């Protein structure tokens, strides 16, 4: 059996007529930039996220960069984030002229540890490091502890940029992802909960000044056209992707429910195999106590496993696709050597990089496919692979 880690074509098949009609409508209209489809998805996602404004951009990386510029990050400012995430979070800080400042993660959620965040801020103040903002990254479909992070940010007068790339549709304590911070960013990369067939992103906020700045900055700093107030960049969400996203937006909650169902099936299957849970650590130990798909949207289903690299190779030989998010922490990346971090600075994040493995997860995944995946994981350990 072949079980890919992601199956884009399967989702397309389920809504093919609507997608084809939306694409054809854009092409027939002749309006492929800054049209009604972009406005529609901006309004839809901002309202869905309980924000007043949405600004479509070319990708999630640009969304982070522009958001940081909007809150005033400049050369010499420090921005705190996690070392266990995609590089765009930290590289956007550097692009804006700032300095990434990392804090370790929680072992059970992979998200920023609020206690470590406060320790970092206190240590920075003691040596006069100018911290400007915090970027909490909601990872793998589950939100950070935003009540604690916002309390800390407000107490120290710091801005918060929510990185919501992997949690579209998630909630924490009844509030939507993107509604906590001063400004928030989303990605429409094909692996996301709400995905285009290529790159795309969005910034959401309830601050009208931030919204105006982001819109101008992403239009090469022009307001009006050809009259440039600032040096910006060209970063637009195009009409084709917006039209596709408008179709998919109607199915988002249903797909999130399906992801939650898939996660429940995995939980049941893993528990059925004797001693397998001694080798594999699941995303949530007792998923059946999680109320609904909003508490964890399972953008990825990430396990931690003994002999992870050998397990990945074994699964590949058996036709099962997997991915490692992420194999090397940001503080150890060559491009960030100038920050002065070393191995051992963030032990929980570094440990995660050695054991995490994303197994197949998408709404169209069948129970039979999942049973095959888990049976092969069990088989790997039964064979005594080391």
User: Which CATH number covers residue 306?
Assistant: 3.90.1150.10
Question: 108, 90, 107: which is closest to 99 by C-alpha?
Answer: 90
Contact 235, 270 (CB under 8 A): no
Q: What is the pLDDT of residue 255?
A: 98
Q: Is 131 contained in some domain?
A: yes
Rounded mean pLDDT, 281-293: 80
Q: Decide if pLDDT at 359 tops 60.
A: yes
Structural domain of 143: 8-249
pLDDT band at 149; cut points 50, 70, 90: very high
Which of 221, 249, 277 lies at the terminal end of a domain, its last residue? 249
> Residues 130, 274: one domain?
no
Q: What is the pLDDT of residue 385?
A: 57
Q: Give CA–CA dist 31/8, Å, rounded.
A: 26
Q: Token digits for 19?
A: 């997608």
> Residues 175, 124: one domain?
yes
pLDDT digits (tens, 9 = 90+) for 73-128: 999 999 999 999 999 999 999 999 999 999 999 999 999 999 999 999 999 999 99
pTM: 0.96
Whole-number percent of the chain with pLDDT over 90: 94
Helix axis angle for 367-382 and 308-317, nearest 10°, is 130
Rounded mean pLDDT, 225-253: 97
Residue 151 sits in a domain of what CATH number? 3.40.640.10
DSSP element (H, E) containing 132? strand 131-134
Q: What is the pLDDT of residue 287?
A: 75
> Residues 120, 257: one domain?
no
pLDDT digits (tens, 9 = 90+) for 155-211: 999 999 999 999 999 999 999 999 999 999 999 999 999 999 999 999 999 999 999
Q: Decide if pLDDT at 386 tops 70.
A: no
């Amino acid at each position: 059996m072949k079980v890919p880690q992601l199956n884009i074509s399967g989702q397309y098949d389920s809504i093919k007529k609507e997608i084809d009609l939306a694409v054809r409508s854009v092409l027939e209209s002749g309006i492929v930039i800054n049209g009604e489809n972009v406005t529609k998805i901006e309004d839809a996602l901002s309202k869905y996220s309980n924000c007043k404004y949405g600004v479509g951009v070319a990708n999630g990386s640009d969304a982070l960069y522009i958001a940081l510029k909007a809150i005033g990050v400049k050369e010499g400012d420090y921005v705190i984030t996690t070392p266990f995430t995609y590089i765009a979070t930290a590289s956007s800080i550097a692009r804006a002229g700032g300095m990434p400042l990392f804090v370790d993660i929680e072992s059970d959620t992979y998200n920023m540890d609020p206690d470590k965040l406060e320790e970092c801020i206190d240590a920075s103040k003691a040596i006069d490091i100018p911290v400007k903002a915090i970027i909490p990254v909601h990872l793998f479909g589950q939100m950070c502890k935003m009540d604690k992070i916002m309390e800390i940010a407000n107490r120290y007068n710091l801005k918060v940029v929510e990185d919501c790339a992997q949690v579209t549709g998630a909630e924490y304590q009844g509030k939507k992802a993107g509604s906590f911070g001063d400004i928030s960013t989303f990605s429409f990369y094909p692996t996301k909960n709400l995905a285009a067939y290529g790159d795309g992103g969005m910034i959401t906020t309830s601050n009208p000044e931030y919204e105006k700045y982001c819109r101008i900055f992403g239009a090469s700093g022009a307001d009006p056209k050809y009259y440039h107030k600032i040096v910006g960049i060209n970063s637009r969400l195009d009409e084709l992707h917006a039209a596709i996203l408008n179709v998919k937006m109607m199915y988002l909650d249903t797909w999130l429910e399906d992801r939650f169902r898939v996660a429940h099936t995995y939980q049941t299957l893993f528990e059925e195999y004797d001693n397998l849970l001694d080798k594999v650590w699941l995303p949530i130990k007792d998923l059946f106590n999680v109320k609904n798909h909003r508490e964890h949207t399972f953008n990825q289903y990430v396990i931690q496993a003994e002999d992870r690299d050998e397990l990945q190779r074994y699964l590949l030989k058996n036709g099962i696709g997997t991915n490692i998010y992420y194999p090397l922490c940001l503080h150890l990346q060559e491009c960030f050597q100038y920050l002065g971090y070393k191995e051992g600075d963030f032990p929980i994040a570094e440990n995660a990089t050695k054991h995490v493995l994303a197994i197949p997860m998408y709404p169209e995944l069948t129970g039979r496919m999942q049973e095959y995946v888990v049976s092969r994981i069990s088989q790997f350990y039964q064979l005594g692979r080391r």
